Structure 1
Amino acid sequence: MLHDYIADLHIHIGRTRKGEAVKISAAPSLTLERILGMAGDTKGIDIVGVIDCHVDEVLRQIEEAVEHQAAYPLAGGGLQFSRVTLFPGTEIELSDEAGQGPVHVLLFMPTLESMRELSDWLAQRMKNPRLSSQRVYERAKTVQKKVRELDGLFIPAHVFTPFKSVYGKGVKRSLAEIFDPDLIDAIELGLSSDTTMADQIEELHRYPYLTNSDAHSLEKMAREYQMIRLGQPSFSEFKQALKNEQGRMIVSNFGLNPLLGKYYQTRCAVCGEVTASGTACSACGSHKQIKGVADRLRELKSGEGGPASRPPYVHQIPLEFIPKLGKKTLEKLRAVFGTDMNIIHRATAEELQAVVPSSIANDILAARANGLEVEAGGGGTYGKVRRIIE
Structure 2
Amino acid sequence: MAPERPMKTYFADFHIHVGRAKDRPVKIAAGNNLTLTNLLEHSQKVKGLDIVGVIDGVCDPVLAELDELVAAGELAELPEGGLLYRDRLLVIAGAEVELKGPKGRAAHFGCWFPNLAAAHDFNAWLKTVQKNTSLSSQLARTSSFALSQETHERGGLLVIHHAFTPFKGILGAAVDRVSDFIDLGAIDALELGLSADTSMADRIEQIQPFTYLSNSDAHGLDTIARECNRVRLDHVSFAEVRRLLARQDGREIVENIGLHPVHGKYYQTRCRRCGEIAGDGRVCSCGTDRNVVTGVSDRIDALADFDEPQHPEWRPPYRHIVPLLDIPGVGPKAYRSLVDAFGSELALLREHVAKQDVQQVVGAALGERVFQTLQGHVSFAVGGAGTYGKVLV
TM-score by length of 2: 0.95
Partners in 1 of 2:106 and 2:247 — Cα distance? 31
Match of 1:327 in 2: 332
Any stretches of 5+ residues in structure 2 without a counterpart?
none
Q: CA deviation at 1:197?
A: 0.1
Which moved further from structure 2: 185-194 or 284-293?
Answer: 284-293
Q: Which residue of 1 aligns with 2:360?
A: 354
Shift of 1:133: 0.5
Aligned to 2:243: 240
Shift of 1:279: 5.0
More deviation, 328-337/160-169:
328-337
1: distance between equivalents of 2:367 and 2:116? 43
Distance in 2 (CA, whole Å) between partners of 1:278 and 1:380 is 15
Report the 3-state secondary structure (helix = DSSP H, G, I; strand = E; otherwise coil) of the residue aligned with 2:110: strand
Number of aligned residue pairs = 383
Q: Tell me how far 1:99 sits from its aligned partner.
A: 4.5
Amino acid of the structure 1 residue aligned with 2:202 = D
Matched, 1:365 2:371: yes
State how 1:263-282 maps to structure 2 within 5 Å. Answer: 263-282=266-285
Give CA deviations for 1:317-352 in whole Å, capped at 9, x if unaligned: 111111111111111212222211123443321111
Match in the other structure for 2:255? 252
Q: Which runs of 5+ in 1 are unaligned?
A: none
Q: 376, 383, 387: which is aligned to 1:377?
A: 383
Question: C-alpha distance in 2, partners of 1:69/1:280?
Answer: 57
C-alpha distance in 1 between matches for 2:374 and 2:342: 16
Establish whether residue 287 from structure 1 lines up as the match of residue 293 from structure 2: no
Secondary structure of the corresponding residue to residue 362 of structure 2: coil
2:80 to 49, 61, 76: 76
Mapped to 2, the partners of 1:95 and 1:189 lie a distance apart of: 20
SS in 2 for 1:135: coil
Residue 311 of structure 2 is matched in structure 1 by 306
Q: Deviations over 1:87-145 (max 9, x none)?
A: 0101110014x453210111100111111111110111101111000000101111111
Q: Secondary structure at the match of 1:340?
A: coil
2:169 is matched with which residue? Answer: 165
Tell me how far apart the structure 2 counterparts of residues 367 and 261 of structure 1 sit (CA, whole Å).
16
- Following the alignment from structure 2 to structure 1, what is the Cα–Cα distance between the partners of residues 69 and 156? 22
After superposition, what is the alpha-carbon deviation per residue over 1:197-251, rounded to whole angstroms, capped at 9, x for unaligned?
0011101111000000111100100100001111111111111111221111111
The answer (yes or no) to whether the contact 1:141–1:178 under 8 Å persists in 2 is no
Matches for 1:45-56 after TM superposition, within 5 Å: 45-56=49-60
Deviation at 1:306, TM superposition (A): 2.3
CA distance in 2, matches of 1:155, 1:331: 34
Deviations 1:125-169 (A, max 9, x none): 101111000000101111111111112111111010111110111
Kindly indicate whether the alpha-carbon contact (under 8 Å) linking 2:24 and 2:61 is maintained by their aligned counterparts in 1. no
Counterparts of 1:114-263 in structure 2 under 5 Å? Answer: 114-171=118-175, 173-263=176-266
Does the C-alpha gap of structure 1 residues 305 and 353 become closer, same or farther in structure 2, counting only changes over 3 Å? same
Q: Distance in 2 between matches of 1:78 and 1:43?
A: 20
Structure-2 residue corresponding to 1:65: 69
Amino acid at match of 1:306: H
Shift in Å, 1:286: 2.1
CA offset at residue 358 of structure 1? 2.2
More displaced 10-residue stretch of structure 1: 297-306 or 269-278: 269-278
Measured against aligned partners, the alpha-carbon deviations of 1:19-38 in whole angstroms (never above 9, x if no partner) come to 21000110001111101100
The answer as to whether partners of 1:277 and 1:291 remain within 8 angstroms in 2 is no
Write the distance in 2 (CA, Å) between the matches of 1:76 and 1:28: 33
Which amino acid is the alignment partner of residue 316 of structure 1? Answer: I
Shift of 1:67: 2.3
- Matched residue SS, 2:281: coil
Secondary structure of the 1:155 match is strand
Higher mean displacement: 62-71 or 234-243: 62-71
* Residue 104 of structure 1 pairs with residue 108 of structure 2: yes
- What is the TM-score of this pair, normalised by structure 1? 0.95
